[in-house]
Structure 1
Amino acid sequence: MAALEIHNVCKDFGSERVLKDVSISIDSGEFLILVGPSGCGKSTLMNAIAGLEPVTSGNIYIDGDDVTWRTPADRDIAMVFQSYALYPSMTVRQNISFGLEMRKVPKPEREAAVERVADLLQITHLLERKPSQLSGGQRQRVAMGRALAREPKVYLFDEPLSNLDAKLRVDMRTEIKKLHQRLGTTIVYVTHDQVEAMTLADCIAVMRDGQILQLGSPDEVYNNPVDMFVAGFMGSPSMNFISAMLERDGDGYAVRIATPDEEDLCLPWPAARVTEAMTEQLGQPVVLGLRPEHFSEEDERLTAQAEGTLMHTSVTVVEPTGADMLLRLPLGDQEVTARVGPKCAVSPGERLALRVDMARAILFNAETEKRLA
């Protein structure tokens, strides 16, 4: 499988620049996911990699070869579309083998390839059916099989699961993960679903307005976002953003959250996580980023060992999800979401003691929305 390099790619549609100096490099066999809101440019970038959309400037390399101006047929890529794009008059077998037939692959090799991918995707029993006789998940498997039969250098997936229902989407996501682990293929995958991105990717590129805001592993993007957009986009429920002030606290620093009806909440900032960018904002408004799992229910038996700063608050909404419980509670002049264990015995209107894990909190500049610490 091939490595993929994208160097300073720009794409203009008339006077509008939809890709702005995009650069990405992934190793052979890596799973890259392009994620971002609708209209951010991820599908345009995918089409540029495929050769379906010529770039305005920049270069694209596959396996070290400059393919910027090559046709799609000459790039040795295979693409799986959102709409499946199956031929309705052909059987599953014919759909899978059609691309090989167009490339003049001998019949014995075509048949062997069909049997291989059908076994891999567990669709052998569907080979003589036509697309109209298949479910959505089965059609998607056939579309994947058609791509896998080719054994190209790079596979491109353009939102392949967006037309499936929720359970089937989860099942197919697992199948794609297993497939990548077995074959070690180089994959570029476009989605707007950040859960897909977190579960599938080796590397995530978060896009906004035609630019790459952050490129890194799922852990890096989730736990060390570069700005508020990335922090808020990755994670479900999304990160809580709380208006606060950064001030001195003895020899250290603290984040003060103004509360309208009670005494202000002052959260000490860990000394090991103080940065120069943060100290320059002393006395200025900042935004404190706390993910729902950064809150935990206070347990009196663990008080001596428990980490984090204790806070007391009322609960406005309780949302049981089975595996855990989401609580909506006021913090300052905002309402935030906390994720606690399923056995948390609390009802709307009651007060609750929670610990805030400031060791994992993130601080942002209130004006630029860039990360401070």
Structure 2
Amino acid sequence: MSALEIREVRKDFGSTRVLKDVSLAIDSGEFLILVGPSGCGKSTLMNAIAGLEPVTSGQILIAGKDVTWQTPAERDIAMVFQSYALYPSMTVRQNIAFGLEMRKVPKREREEAVERVADLLQISHLLDRKPSQLSGGQRQRVAMGRALAREPKIYLFDEPLSNLDAKLRVEMRTEIKKLHQRLGTTIVYVTHDQIEAMTLADSIAVMRDGHILQLGTPDEVYNDPVDMFVAGFMGSPSMNFLTATLEHEAVDYRLRVSTQGEEDVLLPWPQAHETPAMAEYVGRKVVLGLRPEHFSEEDERLGEHAEGTLFSARVTVVEPTGADILLRLPLGEKEVTARVGPKCRVAAGKRLALRIDMGRAVLFDPQTEQRLA
């Protein structure tokens, strides 16, 4: 039985349809992340699951029970908000215990639950402080503690880290990952940060304009995107998209990328990744998708034994990041971003030979933006 099942849910605000026949199901203990740009409907879907927003049509089931028209209190869920939503006049101890008190949990059980989550989140020394005496990260831990004090069927996290600075976000992300691994709880988590989604999720639902475009593991949505939107949204820096002409010679496909003022770049398409749909596109323009890590610096010692197709271009921008270096250089009609090792010594304005790993490339239809191969 699924921990959460959403069946063809629609949500209208007046004449505007925000959720459009959304369906998904997750198992008990799964960590699902709803990700997408602002306005895609992910927070509305979260509010519908929580019971904070009534749906226009469709069904929401929790542990097999239809809760579509139940109140939030009846759904047995716990929610962590972006704004923390702590009571300023209460201590940390009182904030954590408040939900249990409202549910008339005996005092001794409340105290045990508070001590348990305080120890789990390493905030035992903060129990007698007020929220105004806490840092942003500490407040977020208290908000999580209030949810964890209960043992609901599902935990809902609505962009819980968006108010934190970059360093603290990374630290809290790790803490949430550890908590999930330790407790095995079912979590639905909303974020616009695709790095957050990739690092935390068991499965990711990529949303756009009220639709779920793809539901899959982080590896699936990153390496096997269903369309150009998913491919471009997941990953930082995002995927490079190049216009190319699909050619067929003898038994092999290849892609011709025209470059102004230089020789065309010919990229062989791996036979193992050929699809029947490609036959209809011979002689036509297609979109070639290459991630920055699909490029690698040519090592002269490897020579002909190196994998990938070699091309050379003049680097326009060099961006060291510490762990690696991002390069901007022309390929076809556009500039692409390539990610190379930190020992690359190229300077802006100099030519560099790079190899392209076509074994991980993807193809799209330029009109529909759907995946071809």
Amino acid of the structure 2 residue aligned with 1:231: A
Instruction: Name the structure 2 match of 1:210.
Output: 210
CA deviations on 1:269-296 (whole Å, 9 max, x unpaired) are: 1111111112211111110000000000
Q: Is the 8 A contact 2:2 2:26 kept in 1?
A: no
Query: Secondary structure of 2:190's partner?
Result: strand
Q: Is the 8 A contact 2:328 2:338 kept in 1?
A: yes
1:138-157 alignment runs, 5 A limit = 138-157=138-157
Alpha-carbon offset, residue 248 of structure 1:
1.4
Q: Is the 8 A contact 1:248 1:282 kept in 2?
A: yes
- Is residue 2:131 matched to residue 1:135? no
RMSD: 0.9
- Is residue 2:371 matched to residue 1:364? no
Amino acid of the structure 1 residue aligned with 2:272: A
Instruction: Name the structure 1 match of 2:324.
Output: 324
How many angstroms apart in 2 are the aligned matches of 1:117 and 1:305? 56
How many angstroms apart in 1 are the aligned matches of 2:122 and 2:250? 64
Instruction: Name the structure 2 match of 1:351.
Output: 351
- Is residue 2:188 matched to residue 1:188? yes
How many angstroms apart in 2 are the aligned matches of 1:321 and 1:126? 37
Instruction: Name the structure 2 match of 1:237.
Output: 237
Alpha-carbon offset, residue 32 of structure 1:
0.1
How many angstroms apart in 1 are the aligned matches of 2:333 and 2:289? 15
Amino acid of the structure 1 residue aligned with 2:164: L
1:1-373 alignment runs, 5 A limit = 3-373=3-373
Q: Is the 8 A contact 1:2 1:186 kept in 2?
A: no
Alpha-carbon offset, residue 109 of structure 1:
0.2
How many angstroms apart in 2 are the aligned matches of 1:303 and 1:195? 35
Alpha-carbon offset, residue 304 of structure 1:
3.4
How many angstroms apart in 2 are the aligned matches of 1:288 and 1:358? 10
How many angstroms apart in 2 are the aligned matches of 1:341 and 1:133? 44
Q: Is the 8 A contact 1:293 1:340 kept in 2?
A: yes
Q: Is the 8 A contact 1:2 1:153 kept in 2?
A: no
Amino acid of the structure 2 residue aligned with 1:97: A
CA deviations on 1:133-178 (whole Å, 9 max, x unpaired) are: 0000000000000000011000000000000000000000000000
How many angstroms apart in 2 are the aligned matches of 1:192 and 1:281? 35
Query: Secondary structure of 1:318's partner?
Result: strand
Q: Is the 8 A contact 1:286 1:364 kept in 2?
A: yes
How many angstroms apart in 2 are the aligned matches of 1:199 and 1:9? 28
How many angstroms apart in 1 are the aligned matches of 2:238 and 2:200? 19
Structure 2 residue runs without a partner (length 5+)? none
CA deviations on 1:224-251 (whole Å, 9 max, x unpaired) are: 0000000000000000001111111332
How many angstroms apart in 2 are the aligned matches of 1:64 and 1:130? 40
Query: Secondary structure of 2:358's partner?
Result: coil
Q: Mean alpha-carbon deviation: is it higher for 275-284 or for 207-216? A: 275-284
How many angstroms apart in 2 are the aligned matches of 1:4 and 1:303? 53
Q: Is the 8 A contact 1:249 1:268 kept in 2?
A: no
Identity %: 81
Q: Is the 8 A contact 1:2 1:29 kept in 2?
A: no
Q: Mean alpha-carbon deviation: is it higher for 341-350 or for 271-280? A: 271-280
CA spacing shift, 1:105–1:2, aligned 2, 3 Å: farther
How many angstroms apart in 2 are the aligned matches of 1:344 and 1:335? 19
Alpha-carbon offset, residue 221 of structure 1:
0.2
How many angstroms apart in 1 are the aligned matches of 2:59 and 2:183? 28
Amino acid of the structure 2 residue aligned with 1:361: A
Alpha-carbon offset, residue 17 of structure 1:
0.7
Alpha-carbon offset, residue 2 of structure 1:
6.8
Amino acid of the structure 2 residue aligned with 1:315: V
Normalised by the size of structure 2, how large is the TM-score? 0.99
Query: Secondary structure of 2:310's partner?
Result: strand
CA deviations on 1:46-76 (whole Å, 9 max, x unpaired) are: 0000000011111111111111111100000
Q: Is the 8 A contact 1:36 1:208 kept in 2?
A: yes
How many angstroms apart in 1 are the aligned matches of 2:334 and 2:360? 20
Q: Is the 8 A contact 1:9 1:59 kept in 2?
A: yes
CA deviations on 1:26-48 (whole Å, 9 max, x unpaired) are: 11000000000000000000000
How many angstroms apart in 1 are the aligned matches of 2:352 and 2:212? 41
How many angstroms apart in 2 are the aligned matches of 1:277 and 1:20? 29
Q: Is the 8 A contact 2:2 2:25 kept in 1?
A: no
Runs of at least 4 residues of structure 1 off by over 4 A?
none
Query: Secondary structure of 2:336's partner?
Result: strand
Amino acid of the structure 2 residue aligned with 1:262: E
Structure 1 residue runs without a partner (length 5+)? none
Normalised by the size of structure 1, how large is the TM-score? 0.99
Query: Secondary structure of 1:300's partner?
Result: coil
How many angstroms apart in 1 are the aligned matches of 2:172 and 2:278? 43
How many angstroms apart in 1 are the aligned matches of 2:279 and 2:107? 69
How many angstroms apart in 2 are the aligned matches of 1:159 and 1:90? 24
How many angstroms apart in 1 are the aligned matches of 2:364 and 2:102? 54
How many angstroms apart in 2 are the aligned matches of 1:318 and 1:247? 33
Amino acid of the structure 2 residue aligned with 1:263: E
